[in-house]
Structure 1
Amino acid sequence: MTVKLSISVPDDVAAYLQSQGNASAAVTAAVRRVLPEARRTRQREAAQGFGKHLRERTPQQVDADTALVEASNDIALRGSEW
């Protein structure tokens, strides 16, 4: 979800944001740098969700994932010659 905001900033900050291709992304990145706890919370939640996903996989899914990883490694290490 996103929210549109209208803010006032000093001239130097405005010049920097106007020079960016995506001012929203620049502001978001800067704010997230000063809010490390919120970022850590999001990362922790994402890691917990991924761990839950991994724990819920069936043995067949685990085997299929393992085969895919091994095949990808073979291609990466030996080239793409069949």
Structure 2
Amino acid sequence: MTVKLSISVPDDVAEYLQSQGNASAAVTEAVRRVLPEARRLRQREAAQAYGRFLRERTPEQADADRILIESSNDIALRGTEW
């Protein structure tokens, strides 16, 4: 599926796109090169936020989470045979 967009670009970009045989293909290729980096940036920011969250937790909060996880595991594994 494709979507038709109307965008404004600086003069030098417009000149380059007009010189291309297929401006849509040139824009698509350029944007696809940027997408992985944008995704990595979002992942890096999320990991940093999670790290800040973990560092700010009190020992009591960490213990409560450990107990919850262990209890959940016990419930999930009840009756299973290895």
Show the counterpart of 1:44: 44
TM-score when normalising by structure 2? 0.56
Q: What one-letter code is carried by the residue in structure 1 that aligns with 2:4? A: S
Instruction: Decide whether aligned partners of structure 1 residues 32 and 72 sit closer, same or farther in structure 2, where only a CA change above 3 A counts.
Output: farther
Q: How many pairs were matched up?
A: 52
**Is 1:8 equivalent to 2:19 in the alignment?**
no
Show the counterpart of 2:35: 35
- Mark the runs of 5 or more structure 1 residues left unpaired by the alignment: 1-6, 10-30
**Is 1:75 equivalent to 2:75 in the alignment?**
yes
Instruction: Decide whether aligned partners of structure 1 residues 74 and 33 sit closer, same or farther in structure 2, where only a CA change above 3 A counts.
Output: farther
Instruction: Decide whether aligned partners of structure 1 residues 33 and 78 sit closer, same or farther in structure 2, where only a CA change above 3 A counts.
Output: farther
Which whole-Å CA distance do the structure 2 matches of 1:78 and 1:32 have between them?
A: 47
Q: What one-letter code is carried by the residue in structure 2 that aligns with 1:8? A: K
**Residue aligned with 1:8, SS:** coil
Which whole-Å CA distance do the structure 1 matches of 2:50 and 2:35 have between them?
A: 23
**Is 1:66 equivalent to 2:75 in the alignment?**
no
Which whole-Å CA distance do the structure 2 matches of 1:75 and 1:58 have between them?
A: 26
Identity %: 73
TM-score when normalising by structure 1? 0.56
